[in-house]
């Protein structure tokens, strides 16, 4: 693995973590684009990855997975 | 809005410090995303085809943020290893 790739991965992990725990800060940091730096590209993509996962999670949640649980709760009442 | 110019080294070290602080708060959580090379070392496989098979079969979670970059989720690798350790 070359230095550029390692920088990209470090940025990706940082972006993911920031998006998860400090979403406002992550949005502020990535607001100014800088495609020339691998760390920054990783940062932007790591943030996007976390946001994509949240969207997927929300989608699966709204598909009605917990509906079964609700029905069971109602049945017990 | 005021714009502050920082040398790139200072900017990245600032982010690094913030990330370290978050990690400390989260009980020093390990790195989540790793390269294919590291994944192969951890799984003790030498063939890229095997790695691709694990990917295709959904055995390990991965992200492909760019065409030539594939990163692997360390948590899913650990889960896979635990499942296949007797």
Domains contained in chain A, number: 1
- Per residue in B62-75, pLDDT (tens digit) is 999 999 999 999 99
**Cα–Cα distance, A22 to A19 (Å, whole number):** 6
CB neighbours of residue B65 within 10 Å: 19
Largest CA distance in chain B: 59
Contacts of B37 in chain A (CB under 8 A): 1
Per the structure, the complete domain to which residue A16 belongs is given by 3-28+38-59
Give the residue from A37, A29, A46, A34 showing the smallest Cα distance to A3: A37
Contact state of A9 with B63 under an 8 Å Cβ cutoff = no
In a domain, A24, yes or no: yes
Query: Does residue A19 belong to any structural domain of this protein?
Result: yes
ipTM exceeds 0.90 = no
Looking at the domain assignment, is residue A73 inside a domain?
no
* Closest residue, chain B, to A30 (C-alpha): B15
Look at residue A71 and tell me if it is in a domain.
Answer: no
Of the residues A28, A34, A49, A55, the best mutation for testing chain B's interface (the one with the most B CB atoms within 10 Å of its CB) is A49
- Quick check: is A64 in a domain? no
Residue pLDDT tens, chain A, 77 long: 788 899 999 999 999 999 999 999 999 888 877 778 899 999 999 999 999 999 999 988 776 655 554 444 444 44
**Over the stretch B45-62, which tens digit does the pLDDT of each residue have?**
999 999 999 999 999 999
Query: Is the pLDDT confidence value at B42 over 50?
Result: yes
């Amino acid at each position: 693995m070359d230095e550029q790739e390692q920088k990209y991965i470090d940025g990706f992990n940082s972006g993911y973590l920031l998006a998860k725990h400090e979403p406002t800060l992550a949005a502020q940091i990535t607001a100014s684009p800088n495609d020339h730096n691998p760390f920054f590209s990783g940062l932007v993509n790591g943030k996007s990855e976390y946001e994509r996962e949240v969207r997927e999670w929300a989608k699966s949640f709204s598909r009605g997975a917990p509906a079964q649980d609700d029905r069971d709760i109602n049945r017990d009442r | 809005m005021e714009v502050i110019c920082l040398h790139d080294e200072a900017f990245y070290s600032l982010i690094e410090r913030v990330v370290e602080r978050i990690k400390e708060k989260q009980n020093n959580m390990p790195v989540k995303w790793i390269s294919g090379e590291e994944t192969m070392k951890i799984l003790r496989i030498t063939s890229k085809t095997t790695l691709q098979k694990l990917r295709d079969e959904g055995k390990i979670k991965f992200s492909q943020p760019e065409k030539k970059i594939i990163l692997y989720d360390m948590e899913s690798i650990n889960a896979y290893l635990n499942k296949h350790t007797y």
